[in-house]
Structure formats: C-alpha cells, structure tokens
Amino acid sequence: MRVYLDNAATTQLDSEVLKEMVAVMENFYGNPSSIHGHGREARSLIEKARKTIANLIHASPSEIFFTSGGTEADNMAIRSGITTYGIKHAVTSKIEHHAVLHTLESMEKSGQIRLSYVRIDNKGHIDLAHLEELISEERSFVSLMHANNELGTLTDIEAVGELCEKYQALFHCDTVQTMGHYPHDVQKLKVHFLVCAAHKLHGPKGVGFIYISHQVKIEPLINGGSQERNMRGGTENIYGIAGLAKALETAYTEMDVHQTHIQGIKSYMVQQLASIPGITYNGEEDSNKSLYTILNVSFPEMEMADMLLFNLDISGISASGGSACSSGTNIGSHVLEAIAANPNRPAVRFSFSKFTTKEEIDYTIEKLKGVIFY
C-alpha cells in the first residue's frame, strides 16, 4: 500500500485541472504578447483566469499578478514593497517559511532594514501586544503567515491587519497553506499582499499569484518585457495559469465538503494515535484551532530516531518532519526550535488532502506501532 501524507509539501494534481491544462496545451499556443489572433486567444485565456481568481478572493483583476509560485511572490512583496517605500524596519516571526525568513535576513545583512521578531508561544501563536509595540514607533513592513506550514497554527490575520492599518505598516501575508482551504476576502482583510502557489491546492507546480492591493504601487522584482502590466517580465505560463484558476475555482466550490472530510481524517488520526503512549503535538491538534490539513506529532525518544521517516518510507508512507535543532551545528526544523520542542524526540508532520482515506490512516498507525514498539 502506498500512502501520501505530505500534502503540505505538495498535492496530487486534480484530474479536472489536468484536463483543463491539456486542452490549453493543445489549443492555445500563441504568445500572449503577440497582437495576432493566436496571441489574442492566449491573452484572453490569461485574463479570464485572472478574473476568476479575483472574483474568488473579492479583488479587482488589476490586483492579481501571476508568478512562478509562492517563493517568487513572497520575494516580490518583501523586496519590492520595502524598497519602493524606503521602509527601514521589518517585523516577522521565527517560524515563517524560509521564502520569507531568508529574504528578510538577506536584506538585514545588506543593511537595507532592521529586522525584529515578534514573540510566539509554544504553540506558534504570535503575541499581538508585542507586535503592536514593535510597529508603533516607525513605519514598518510586517510579514506574517496565515498558517504555519509545519505546525498548522493559524494567525489572526484580521487582528494583525487592524494593527498594521492603525500604524500605517505594510502587511504581507503568506497564504500559501490556506489558499483554497479557507475563504479569503481582501475587501475585509487589511492586507496589502497575499500569495498563492497552485501546487498546494491540487494545481500544477511552477505557478502562483500575488495579490497586490490597489492601495500600494511597487516596483517589479523581475524586469524584462511588459508582461503582467509591466510588473513581472517573462512570457506567461499559460497552461499553468489555466490550471491554477481551475484548481482554485474547484477548491472554493468544494471547500465545505472537503473541509468536513479532512477535519474528520485529522480527528480520526488523533484518536488512533492515542494508542501510542508518550505522543505529544506540536502546535494545535484541534482542527478548530489550526489548519485542518496539518498534524505535527512528536514521538517518544527512541534509538535510531532519525530513521523513523525512512522506515515509514520503506512501508510506502510519505510524510515529512525532523526535530528541533539541539545545537547550532545541527540541521533541523527552525520552527520546532523556535517553539522549544524537545530536540531528542522525532517529529513527523502528517498533512492531509481530499484524497486521504481512513484506511490509509489505519495502515499508517499500524506501521508506526511496528517501528516504535520494535
């Protein structure tokens, strides 16, 4: 049996998305920058996808820009936002995705900004009072993700947005893990930048988008041609863009059904894990308090702890994880280190999708017991 429980890393391509992409590959091969008929057909397809995405998140089509994925979108928001507005102070947390952390750390190292980290608790929740303290004295750039990609911990981005508006801070939110799992309404959120990667919601790899509020105007990150209204040079990934729009449209249409199913899978796994003594959870195991697609589990200390994921893989089970760094020389999870998880206990992130079944969970629990009680 083969079991895929690493959906926070990437998801299986939806069959309807594949059909959409194949149709585009077969019929739309013109360069969308060309003014002839073939080019206009390709351009029309891109603009249709842009309008679909904009309608889903209640944005204007002019606020949606296609990218190669979440990492580029994060870099675009951070580097271009900070540079365009001459901002000298940025705030983030130590559990952000490396696309955010490494970008901000690079800018700090080069002397462009001073970087502050908002305090978090041992579940990964940010301290809103500390955030207010950090942004109250000078205009800042705030980059905080909606849901942590390792823990699943959700951030109250409505509250963060209110604080950013109060102190005129620019707010960038990495929504890669939550786009398509929760409705996002940019008419209500006080956010300047949102990002999406299609492959996290059963779309293709190598394509995503950034929402840039009409309240801000930034310089492009990638210069070249006049694509994306002069905001992102390079011939558009037409097939990927069509797949992205189809994947997000499907996710919104089926959101309630899939949320109920996946929450049930997560709760079922928590119930079954109770049969293994010494289990603890990193972040929130309650699906109502965290992203319902992620469950991060710390197992008891064991010999050959670093072989746990390998043994699961041998059994046909794909998951991911690691442990907290016990010293500066160890390569481990910066997220688990930041929440002070026990570095001697192996941690596994199980992440679910609409395709995950209870039979797969039963098989996984059986194999876990075989490894742990060996």
- CATH (domain of 287): 3.90.1150.10
**Cα-based distances in Å from 27 to 18, 23, 24, 39, 42:** 14, 6, 5, 12, 9
Instruction: Look at residue 112 and tell me whether its pLDDT is greater than 70.
Output: yes
**Per-residue confidence band for 303, with pLDDT thresholds at 50, 70 and 90:** low
- Residue finishing a domain among 230, 253, 276: 253
Do 173 and 272 lie in one domain? The reply is no
Q: What is the DSSP letter of 89?
A: E
Same-domain pairing of 167 and 301:
no
Angle at 158 between CA 288 and CA 60, to 5 degrees: 115
Element (H, E) at 171: strand 170-174
Same domain, yes or no: 314 and 189: no
**Per-residue confidence at 328, pLDDT binned at 50, 70, 90?**
very low
What is the domain extent for residue 288? 3-11+254-372
3-state secondary structure of 201: helix
Same domain, residue pair 103 and 131: yes
List the one residue out of 56, 58, 79 whose CA is nearest residue 244.
Answer: 56
Domain boundary (204, 232, 253) is at 253
Q: Do residues 301 and 171 both lie within one domain? A: no
Residues 284 and 345 in one domain: yes
Predicted pLDDT of residue 325: 45
Strand partners, 170: 141
| Residues 190, 336 share a domain | no
- pLDDT at position 284 is 85
Whether 286 and 336 share a structural domain: yes
> Would you say residue 327 has pLDDT above 60?
no
Whether 109 and 213 map to the same domain: the answer is: yes
Confidence check: pLDDT of 332 > 90: no
Residue type, 135: I
- For all residues of the chain together, what is the average pLDDT? 94
State whether 307 and 207 are in the same domain.
Answer: no
Q: What is the pLDDT of residue 44?
A: 97
Q: Please check the confidence at residue 329 and state whether its pLDDT lies above 70.
A: no
Strand partners, 206: none
Q: Residue 199 is part of a domain; what is its CATH number?
A: 3.40.640.10
Helix axes 255-273, 358-372, angle to 10 degrees: 30
Q: Which residues contact 105 (CB under 8 A, 6 or more apart)?
A: 115
**Mean pLDDT computed over 264-284:** 94
Judge if 240 and 280 occupy the same domain: no
3-state DSSP call for residue 45?
A: helix
Sign for the CA dihedral angle at 83, 84, 88, 93 comes to: negative
Per the annotation, the verdict on 325 as an active-site residue is: yes
Please compute the mean of the pLDDT values over residues 131-152 and round it to a whole number.
97
Residues 129 and 242 in one domain: yes
Q: Quote the pTM value.
A: 0.95
- Which residue among 253, 270, 290 closes a domain? 253
Highest mean pLDDT among 230-239, 317-326, 328-337: 230-239
Please state the domain count of the chain: 2
Per-residue pLDDT at 322:
65
